[in-house]
Amino acid sequence: LRDGMTTEKNFLIGSGQLTYEAWIKPISGGGNYRAYVGLQPSVAISESSVNSIYFQYHSSTSAYWQCKSVKSSTTETTTTAVLGAEAWFLLKIVVSSNGSSIEFFIDDVSVATHSTQVPASTSAYALFLKGASTGNGPMRVDAVKVSISLTGDRA
């Protein structure tokens, strides 16, 4: 995957626990490599989108995966201790059922919890994956999974 992938907007924060999982492998190929994996409110892929929840690996910024949540234009960032090397990763984002917190997992280990910059619960979200490089580095994707455990009456 080189130029990105998105879905149509159809995931709502705050309507139940939302879980996003992606099995990916960054392929650096040399140069300045970037990988973005998560949720954003637009089908147009952007690294600077407002109201987004995602993992970021940017070889010129940090050797480690970063967890990011953006509310309006304010970003909460956690730099993990997990290197973004060429390996398979299970990246998972879990948004609480009421939309008040976001927990990030790498290979089923919790690496961050954000509760300050959580996007509005009324936002609809699209999935996005993007790998880019000034060298020759796409991102391999094995699978992407989204699940929502709905809360409240659905009658």
Tens digits of residue pLDDT in 11-68: 667 778 889 898 988 776 666 777 788 887 765 555 666 788 888 888 777 788 999 9
pLDDT of residue 114: 97
CB neighbours (10 Å) of residue 83? 12
Q: What is the mean pLDDT of residues 75-83?
A: 91
Q: What is the mean pLDDT of residues 2-19?
A: 64
In three-state secondary structure terms, 25 is strand
Using CA atoms, how far residue 49 sits from 25, 39, 71, in Å, is 23, 10, 10
Question: What's the mean pLDDT when you consider all of the chain?
Answer: 78
Question: How many angstroms separate the CA atoms of 1 and 51, rounded?
Answer: 24
Alpha helices in 46-120 (DSSP H): none
CA nearest to 56, candidates 76, 36, 75, 31: 36
pLDDT of residue 101: 94
Q: Inform me whether the pLDDT recorded for 123 exceeds 80.
A: no
CA nearest to 147, candidates 2, 1, 15, 5: 15
Q: Inform me whether the pLDDT recorded for 75 exceeds 80.
A: yes
